[in-house]
Amino acid sequence: MAASVAEQYELSGAEVIDDLGLWGQTLRLHCRTATGYHFLIKEKAHYLSSEDWPVHLAVHRWSQRAGGPVSPLLSTQAGDDGVIHQGRYFEVQGWVEGRLPTDGDAEEFGRTLALFHLSVAGMPPGSRDRPRCRYRWTPDDPAGLGDYIDRYCRPRAAHGSPAAARLAELRRKVRDLPQDGPAGGLVGSYLHGDTALANTVRTGEGFLRLIDFDDARWGHRIFDLVHAMAITAGFDPDLTGQHAIRTEWALQRAQALFDGYRSLIELTPAEREDFPRQMTVAVIATGLSCLDIDDPEFELPSDLADQLGHLSALVEDVPSLSSAVTRP
C-alpha cells in the first residue's frame, strides 16, 4: 500500500519505518524512500471539513506558505491533495526528521503553537469557516459540550452506577458555566483544533512542527492553547499510546507551555478572564474522549468511575491552575 501511494507522489522505493497507528484510529505510516527522504502517509477517515471546502487543507497550506511551523503537505504528480487507494483516502506530509516530542518539550510546544497562530493571522474567515462537527469532535463551548455528554456519553454509563453519578456531576458543572465569554477581546483565528504533543514532530534542528489538521476550523484562538494545556498537564501518556487522567495538574508542564506561548503572543484581558471557563470545557471534553466513553465500538474502562473522579478533581482545580499560570 505504502509503495503504491508513494508512487503517485514520485516517492519511489518507499518502505515503512514505523506504524504510528497508536496515535489515532486511522492509519499513519512513517516511510522512507530509497534516497533517504522521510514522509508520513496519513489516512483521512473523519473530517470537520465540508466536502466542497476542505478547511484542514486550506489552513495547513496557508500556514506552510507563511512559513509556519507545519510539516510540509505534498501534492501528487497530478497536482492533487490526496489519493484514493482501495477505497481509502490518503494524504502525504513531508516528515521532518528528528525524535518524537516528550513532556519536556512543553515550552517549545507553546512557542510552536504561537508561531502557528501568527502564521494564520492574515487568513480571512470564509463563509464556511465553521464546519459541521463529526462524531468524535472535541466541543469548544459549554452548549456543545453539554450536547456531547447527553448524546454520546451518558447513554454508555449504566443508570445508577458510580460512573453514571460521576458523569452527572460533570454535566452539572458544564451546565453551571457561563454560555458565553466576555463581550469583545476574544481573538478569532483559524485553529489547529487538536493541539497535542502527539500531533507534532521534532526536527533535527530542535524545532517542533505541527501535523494532522483534521480538526482545523475557525474559533477563538485561546481554544488551541487550553486544549494543549489540558492534554499536556492533565494527562499522562500510557504504554498503549493513549492517555491516563492525572489526579492533579502537572503545574510545571502547564506553566512551561503557557510561558512558551506568551513569549510570542500575550493574552488579551478578555482571554485571561475567560481562561478558567475555556479550560474547564477543554479538560472535560478531552478527558471523556480519552476514556472512549463516547464511542460504542470500544469497551468501557474497568475503572471508569475512578477515572471520572480524577477528571472531576482536575475540574475543581481549574481556577487555581488558571490563576497560577496566567498571572502577569
pLDDT at 33: 81
pLDDT at 309: 96
pLDDT at 26: 64
Give the span between the Cα atoms of 305 and 293, in whole angstroms. 11
CATH of domain 103-325: 3.90.1200.10
CATH class assigned to 2-94? alpha beta
CATH 3.30.200.20 domain span(s) along the chain: 2-94
pLDDT at 13: 77
Residue 91: C-alpha distances to residues 39, 237, 300 (Å): 11, 26, 32
Give the span between the Cα atoms of 40 and 60, in whole angstroms. 15
CA geometry: angle 265, 267, 270, nearest 5 deg: 155
pLDDT at 134: 44
CATH 3.90.1200.10 domain span(s) along the chain: 103-325
pLDDT at 101: 65
pLDDT at 322: 97
Low-confidence spans in the chain with pLDDT less than 70: 18-26, 44-53, 95-101, 126-138, 204-206, 237-243
pLDDT at 48: 47
Provide the 10 A C-beta neighbour count for residue 70: 28
Identify the three-state secondary structure at position 12: coil
DSSP one-letter code for 83? E
Contact 311, 287 (CB under 8 A): yes
